[in-house]
Structure 1
Amino acid sequence: MHKPTLLAGLAAIALVTTPAAAQKSPEAVAEAALKRAPVFDGHNDVPWALRAHVDNVINGFDFVDTTDTAKPDATPPRIAMHTDLNRLRKGHVGAQFWSVYVPSNSNEPQAIQQTIEQIDVMKRLIARYPNDLSLAANSGELQAQMKAGKVAGMLGIEGGQSIGSSLAVLREMFGMGVRYMTLTHSKNVPWADSATDAPKYDGLTDFGRQVVREMNRIGMIVDLSHVSEATMKDALETSKVPVMFSHSGVRAVNDHPRNVPDSVLPAVKANGGIVMIVFLPGFLDPVVRAHGLDRTALEARLKAQYSGDPAAVTAALKTWDAANPAPKTQIAQVAAHIDHLKQSIGVDHIGLGGDYDGMDSAPVGMEDVAGYPALFTELARRGYSQADLEKIASGNMIRVLKAVEAYAASQKGQPPVETPVVK
Structure 2
Amino acid sequence: MQSDPTKVHAEALVIDTHADTPQRFVDEHWDFFEPLNGGMVNYESAKKGNLDAEFFSIWVDPSQYPANRSAVRTFSLIDGVLEQVRKHPDKMALCRTPDEILAAHKAGKFVACMGIEGGHSIENNLGLLRDYYRLGVRYMTLTWSNTNDWADSSGDIDDPTVKHHNGLTDFGKQVVAEMNRLGMMVDISHVADKTFWDVVEVTKAPLLASHSSARALTQAGRNLTDYQLRAVAKTNGVVMVNLFPAFIDEKWRQAWNDCKADRQKEQDALEAEYHAKGLPVPYTASDAIDRKYAAKVGRAPFDSLIDHFDHVIKVAGIDHVGIGTDFDGIPQPPGGIDSAADLPKITAALMARGYTADDMKKLLGGNLIRVFREVQAKADPSFQ
TM-score (norm: length of structure 2): 0.88
Q: Distance in 2 between matches of 1:346 and 1:226?
A: 22
* 1:413–1:171 Cα change, 3 Å: closer
Q: Distance in 1 between matches of 2:235 and 2:298?
A: 36
Q: Distance in 2 between matches of 1:152 and 1:140?
A: 12
Alignment of 1:52-201 (within 5 A): 52-54=27-29, 61-67=30-36, 69=37, 80-105=38-63, 106-198=65-157, 200-201=164-165
- 1:263 partner amino acid: Y
Q: Which runs of 5+ in 1 are unaligned?
A: 1-21, 55-60, 70-79, 309-317, 415-423
Task: Find the counterpart in structure 2 of residue 262 from structure 1.
Answer: 226
The answer to whether the 8 Å contact 1:32/1:386 transfers is no
The answer to whether the 8 Å contact 1:253/1:337 transfers is yes
Q: Deviations over 1:380-399 (max 9, x none)?
A: 10001000000000000000
TM-superposed CA distance for 1:65, in Å, is 3.5
- 2:56 partner amino acid: W
Q: Deviations over 1:358-409 (max 9, x none)?
A: 111111221111111011100010001000000000000000000011001x
Aligned counterpart for 2:174 among listed residues 204, 207, 210: 210
TM-superposed CA distance for 1:301, in Å, is 9.1
- 1:326 partner amino acid: V
TM-superposed CA distance for 1:298, in Å, is 5.2
Task: Find the counterpart in structure 1 of residue 340 from structure 2.
Answer: 369
* 1:326–1:404 Cα change, 3 Å: same
* 1:282–1:36 Cα change, 3 Å: same
What SS does structure 2 have at the residue aligned with 1:134?
Answer: strand
- 1:361 partner amino acid: Q
TM-superposed CA distance for 1:198, in Å, is 2.9
- 1:91 partner amino acid: G
What SS does structure 1 have at the residue aligned with 2:253?
Answer: helix
Q: Distance in 2 between matches of 1:114 and 1:383?
A: 45
Aligned counterpart for 1:282 among listed residues 232, 241, 246: 246
The answer to whether the 8 Å contact 2:22/2:77 transfers is yes
Task: Find the counterpart in structure 2 of residue 338 from structure 1.
Answer: 309
Q: Distance in 2 between matches of 1:23 and 1:298?
A: 49
What SS does structure 1 have at the residue aligned with 2:116?
Answer: strand
Q: Distance in 2 between matches of 1:115 and 1:291?
A: 33
Q: Distance in 2 between matches of 1:392 and 1:286?
A: 24
* 1:407–1:364 Cα change, 3 Å: same
Q: Distance in 1 between matches of 2:302 and 2:86?
A: 34
TM-superposed CA distance for 1:171, in Å, is 0.7
Q: Which runs of 5+ in 2 are unaligned?
A: 159-163, 273-288
The answer to whether the 8 Å contact 1:193/1:202 transfers is yes
The answer to whether the 8 Å contact 2:58/2:114 transfers is yes
- 1:360 partner amino acid: P
- For the aligned residues, what is the CA RMSD? 2.4
What SS does structure 1 have at the residue aligned with 2:348?
Answer: helix
- 1:86 partner amino acid: E
Q: Deviations over 1:334-356 (max 9, x none)?
A: 11011111111111000000011
Task: Find the counterpart in structure 2 of residue 16 from structure 1.
Answer: none
Q: Deviations over 1:283-318 (max 9, x none)?
A: 111111111111114567999xxxx9xxxxxxxxx9
Q: Deviations over 1:251-284 (max 9, x none)?
A: 0010001111122122111101111001111111
- 1:250 partner amino acid: A
Q: Distance in 2 between matches of 1:213 and 1:207?
A: 10
TM-superposed CA distance for 1:86, in Å, is 0.8
Q: Distance in 2 between matches of 1:145 and 1:396?
A: 18
Q: Deviations over 1:136-178 (max 9, x none)?
A: 1211111110111111111101101110001111111100111
Q: Deviations over 1:61-104 (max 9, x none)?
A: 4533423x3xxxxxxxxxx1111111110111111111111112
Q: Distance in 1 between matches of 2:32 and 2:381?
A: 39
The answer to whether the 8 Å contact 2:25/2:31 transfers is no
Q: Distance in 1 between matches of 2:382 and 2:83?
A: 34
* 1:300–1:165 Cα change, 3 Å: closer
Q: Distance in 1 between matches of 2:360 and 2:60?
A: 33
Task: Find the counterpart in structure 2 of residue 74 from structure 1.
Answer: none
Q: Distance in 2 between matches of 1:36 and 1:130?
A: 24
Q: Distance in 1 between matches of 2:59 and 2:266?
A: 31
What SS does structure 1 have at the residue aligned with 2:211?
Answer: strand
Q: Distance in 1 between matches of 2:234 and 2:370?
A: 15
Task: Find the counterpart in structure 1 of residue 286 from structure 2.
Answer: none
Aligned counterpart for 1:45 among listed residues 8, 20, 26: 20
